[in-house]
Structure 1
Amino acid sequence: MITAKAFAGKHYAVYGLARSGIATIEALLASGAKVTAWDDNPDARAKAEMCSCEGRSPLLDPRLRGDTGFNEIGAFDSLVLSPGVPLNRHPIAQAARAAGVEIIGDIELFARARPELPPHKVVGITGTNGKSTTTALIHHILKTAGVPTTMGGNIGLPILAQEPLPEGGVYVLELSSYQIDLTQSLDCDVAVLLNITPDHLDRYESFEAYAASKARLFEMQTSTHTAVARSADWWGKGAQEKSKAGHLDVFDDAFHNWQAESGAIGVFEQPQWPSLQGPHNLLNVSAAMSTCYLLGLGGEQIRDGLRTYPGLPHRMERIREKDGVLFVNDSKATNAEAAAPALAAYSKVRWILGGQAKTESLGDTEAQLGHVVKAYTIGEAGPMFARLLRDLAVPAEECETLEIATNRAAEDSLPGDVVLLSPASASFDQFRDFEARGDRFRELVEGL
């Protein structure tokens, strides 16, 4: 794990004991800090009780419960919050502010531990869509090129739970706005902004406030470091006025730059990147290429990474090809905006969609319906989606369950078709989460 002498002797309150909270407790205890922790979930508290280091254990203190009013929060040096705790309305955040106690997260602890780590670099990736793919892609390209690297933040293992990298290593961090809100001093060598579209507005006063949260990743940079962004997002959201980075790299021009400099990597190569199909992935690739170029990699190293990138589970994940039909799991697409890029990536789609819809419209997917041969609807929103699609002359079959839809789509398919699970809906009407839905689809496809 990542520890730091800077934490020794301090008293931290850790509130929220999911994976990052447990990793935070363990890292702080191993660093010689005192930890008081709480979570309203008794199962989470039970996991925290198992944490110990050299005779030190966290104190699970009910004074951190909401019904106490958090009157004693001023006794702590810092309050370490889970990113899932809403800063804008949770009473513990309000009490900490009133008591003058700093509110931070595990990413800020990592930032404070950096001076004690072997010399390294940090890449931070934020944006509304594409963060996980871009983070995993940069990590994969670096790893393929032989660079010591790990990824964390909003993906994979919590960063404090990971072993420090050797000298020359690169930490690649996916950062949500919630995590950035809890971070004060993360000076990324390369900070990447992919895009900003309306999201999480229950946590922010306005879209502008949400965009400003993302832009703080650039505000924390120093003048020797580089910001990477699409020009439309960079100039359109005012981030350039706040950035302290010494250089801006505009990644929507990356392909042009690479072709001019190396004559090597271009959009015409996308068919050779099986897990990076669709126009949205061209932007993810452009951001990753720009970042890896800034980290000193060459064109052939980047090309090798693009060709061998395996993709992420539930994000346009290629499950199987059977009798000329490709089956793709895009269960992570829980709204229409997320489903549209998958539809755009393939020309003959048998589309499985439905679940708990977030809106009663087809949203951005409507522009891609020319790619849909037939739709197979499931779940609570199935009848609604079927009606909307039929109104637009798209054949739609109401299947109710994922099992029926998968079997019917497979039976109907011809060579060259793509059976795509991209539900444009949440999963909670029939599944625990989108992962469970995607795992079930994989089981069904593998059983065909």
Structure 2
Amino acid sequence: MITNSAWAGKRFAVLGLARSGAAAVAALVASGASVVAWDADADRRAGFSNFPGVRRGGVGMGDLDDLSGFDALVVSPGVPLNTHLLAAKAHDAGVPIIGDIELFAQARAELPPHKVVGITGTNGKSTTTALVHHILQTAGLPSLMGGNIGLPILSVEPLPEGGVYVLELSSYQIDLTHTLDCDVAVLLNVTPDHLDRYDGFEAYAASKARLFAMQSPRHEAVIGIGNLPSAKIARSLADRGERLTKIAPGVCLDQGRWPALQGPHNAQNALAAIAVCKALGVAERDIDRGLESFAGLPHRMERVATRGGVLFVNDSKATNPDSTAPALAAYDRVHWILGGRAKGDDLDACAPHFGHVARAYTIGEAAPVFARALDGRVPVEQAETLDRAVASAASYARAGDTVLLSPAAASFDQFRDYEDRGATFRQLVEALA
């Protein structure tokens, strides 16, 4: 694990004991810190009952009523800072509120010489993070993925000299980070999302921009300028000159050689990854090999099967219309399965690509709302459940068509999460006669 001698003798409160929180507790204790750990889940609290150096907060967080003696409150990204009682107590006591990425930033001075790539954006950050990591591995460079993807960053063994830590960073993680100076910082796009955690869209965009505020101007910035908010952030960094790479929307001529990177959104992801790897000194031949051999990520434009000439694609990770739109653009004739727990009533972001939709099948809570939004624009069927949607789409689709699960909505009405939804889609496709 990653440790830091500077934490020895300090007191930390840790709120949230899932993967990143549990790794933070272990790293802090191994570094000689004392920790009070708490989670609303009693089973997670019980998992630390015999952990040396850790005191568990009681059911009502009694041990954390007074935070004035702590050096920091370490919070899991899922904890809403705008509403949680403990976050308010920390503010009142003047105690810094940080996350595991900030702990990693503090520990960097004791790691072997290395570089850090930080990648954020409303959409595309997981694919871009995995692609950069894959290219680095293809080139024979030691690297690992962390942050919002892969292993909790504090749980990994430090990379050897010359290694690259590739971090996917959500806005929540950036909110909890104050000193992470990325050697290469990437912003892919900014579109409305997670607004229940922010005081409006401008505050959400400002959270993304903080990745560059933490960065030394001599380090590299890569920004997609395909939408106005991210283009505005790029303009604010114009004085960086050659240290700023702008990624314009478009299609890469080489995408035909990259089977897992289809569609205009993946063109942007690929161009961003290319810019990152060039900034790290990776040879072009290694970049080309990595792009060609990248297999993609589950639930993100994942090619599940081809049956009777019909391609079935699992894009369950697309939980809002902005992330679904590029998937519609990627295929000529689409049978579109959408719905779930909607984050809004309209599908306006997808409208420019309705000409690609042969037929739509709405499911979940949003089935009637999305059906009304599509009525008169594309043929639409309220299938209500995923199994009915897959069966109906398979019956209508003909050779050359694509059956696309790209829901434009969250999954929590009918599934545990987007991964459960995508896995169910895969099973239903595999069961087709």
Task: Report the TM range for the smaller structure's normalisation.
Answer: over 0.9
Other-structure match for 1:426: 410
Partner of 1:22: 22
How many Å apart are 1:187 and its aligned residue? 0.8
Residue 397 of structure 1: how far off its partner (Å): 2.5
Determine the structure 2 residue equivalent to 1:208.
202
Q: CA deviation at 1:93?
A: 1.8
Q: What are the residue-to-residue correspondences of 1:66-77 with 2, within 5 Å?
A: 70-77=64-71
**Aligned equivalent of 1:339:** 324
Q: Which amino acid aligns with 1:343?
A: L
Determine helix, strand or coil for the equivalent of 1:160.
helix
Q: Residues of 2 paired with 1:120 and 1:254: CA distance?
A: 31
TM-superposed deviation, 1:244:
9.4
Q: How does 1:159-198 map to 2 (within 5 A)?
A: 159-198=153-192
Range that drifts further, 17-26 or 200-209: 200-209
The residue that corresponds to 2:213 in the other structure is 219
What is the identity, as a one-letter code, of the residue corresponding to 2:9? G
Deviation at 1:216, TM superposition (A): 1.3
2:254 equivalent in structure 1: 269
User: Residue in 2 aligned with 1:414?
Assistant: 398
Whole-Å separation in 2 of the counterparts to 1:240 and 1:32: 44
Q: Matches of 2:238 and 2:107 in 1, distance apart?
A: 23
Equivalent positions of 1:371-386 (< 5 A) are 371-386=356-371
Are residue 249 (structure 1) and residue 244 (structure 2) matched?
Answer: yes
Structure 1: distance between partners of 2:210 and 2:223: 13
Task: Tell me what 2:223 maps to.
Answer: 229
- The CA deviation at 1:97 is 2.1
TM-score (norm 1): 0.90
- Give the distance between the partners of 1:235 and 1:377, measured in 2 at CA: 31
* Structure 2 residue identity aligned to 1:188: C
Aligned equivalents of 2:195, 2:90: Cα separation in 1: 23
The one-character-per-residue Cα deviations of 1:371-418 (angstroms, maximum 9, x if unpaired) are 0111222223223333432321x2222322211221222222221111
Structure 2 residue matching 1:426: 3-state secondary structure? coil
Checking the alignment, whether the CA contact within 8 Å between 1:119 and 1:167 is kept in structure 2 is: yes
Query: Matched residue of 1:98: which SS?
Result: helix
Q: For structure 1, which segment, 382-391 or 333-342, has the greater mean C-alpha deviation from structure 2 after superposition?
A: 382-391
CA contact (8 A) 2:119 2:169 kept: yes
What's the TM-score once normalised by structure 2's chain length? 0.93
Q: Note the alpha carbon deviations across 1:141-182, whole angstroms, 9 max, x for none.
A: 111111100011011111011111111110000111111111
CA–CA separation in structure 2 for the residues paired with 1:365 and 1:233:
17
Q: CA deviation at 1:299?
A: 1.6
**1:263 corresponding residue in structure 2:** none
Percent of aligned pairs sharing the same letter: 60
User: 1: CA distance between counterparts of 2:217 and 2:370?
Assistant: 50
> Conserved in 1, the CA contact under 8 Å of 2:320 and 2:407?
yes
Structure 2 unmatched runs, 5+:
none
Give per-residue Cα distances to partners, 1:273-300, cap 9 Å, x unaligned.
1111111111111111100000001221
Residue 79 (structure 1) aligned with residue 64 (structure 2): no
Aligned to 2:387: 403
SS of match in other structure, 2:267? helix
Q: Contact 1:353–1:375 at 8 Å: present in 2 too?
A: yes
Q: After superposition, where does 1:295-444 map in structure 2 within 5 Å? A: 295-392=280-377, 394-444=378-428
Local SS of the residue matching 1:408: helix
The amino acid across from 1:124 in the alignment is: G
- CA shift, 1:242, in A, is 7.0
Equivalent position amino acid for 1:320 in 2: A
Provide the C-alpha distance between the structure 2 equivalents of 1:239 and 1:213, rounded to a whole number of angstroms. Answer: 14
Q: Secondary structure at the match of 2:151?
A: coil
Q: 1:132 to 1:197 in 2, by over 3 A?
A: same
Distance 1:22 1:315 in 2: 28
1:147 corresponds to 2:132: no
**2: CA distance between counterparts of 1:240 and 1:215?**
12
The Cα offsets for residues 308-356 of structure 1, whole Å up to 9 and x where unpaired, read as 1111111111111222211100111122222111111000111111222
Tell me if structure 2 keeps the 8 A contact 1:225–1:247.
no
1:259 is matched with which residue? none
Secondary structure at 1:191's aligned position in 2? Answer: strand
Structure 1: give runs of 5+ residues left out of the alignment. Answer: 256-265
Shift of 1:63: 8.7
Mapped pair 1:293 → 2:289: no
Distance 1:96 1:244 in 2: 37
CA distance in 1, matches of 2:189, 2:233: 13
The CA distance in 2 between the partners of 1:296 and 1:7, in whole Å, is 34
Residue of 56, 59, 64 corresponding to 1:60: 56
Are the counterparts in 2 of residues 142 and 148 from structure 1 also a CA contact under 8 Å? Answer: yes
Which moved further from structure 2: 205-214 or 299-308? 205-214
Letter in 1 for 2:297: L
| Pairs aligned (count) | 431
SS of the equivalent of 2:317 reads coil
- Helix, strand or coil at the partner of 1:237: helix
Q: Which of 124, 129, 138 is the equivalent residue of 1:135?
A: 129
CA distance in 2, matches of 1:317, 1:435: 12
SS across alignment from 1:229: strand
Tell me which moved more, 414-423 or 331-340.
331-340
C-alpha RMSD over aligned residues: 2.2
Please give the alpha-carbon distance, in whole angstroms, between the structure 2 residues aligned to 1:21 and 1:347: 44
Moved more, 400-409 or 301-310: 400-409
Distance verdict in 2 for CA 1:3–1:254, change over 3 Å: farther
Is the contact between residue 314 and residue 405 of structure 2 (CA under 8 Å) also seen in structure 1? Answer: yes
Aligned mates of 1:243, 1:77 — CA distance in 2: 37
The 1:189/1:321 distance shift into structure 2, 3 A limit, reads same
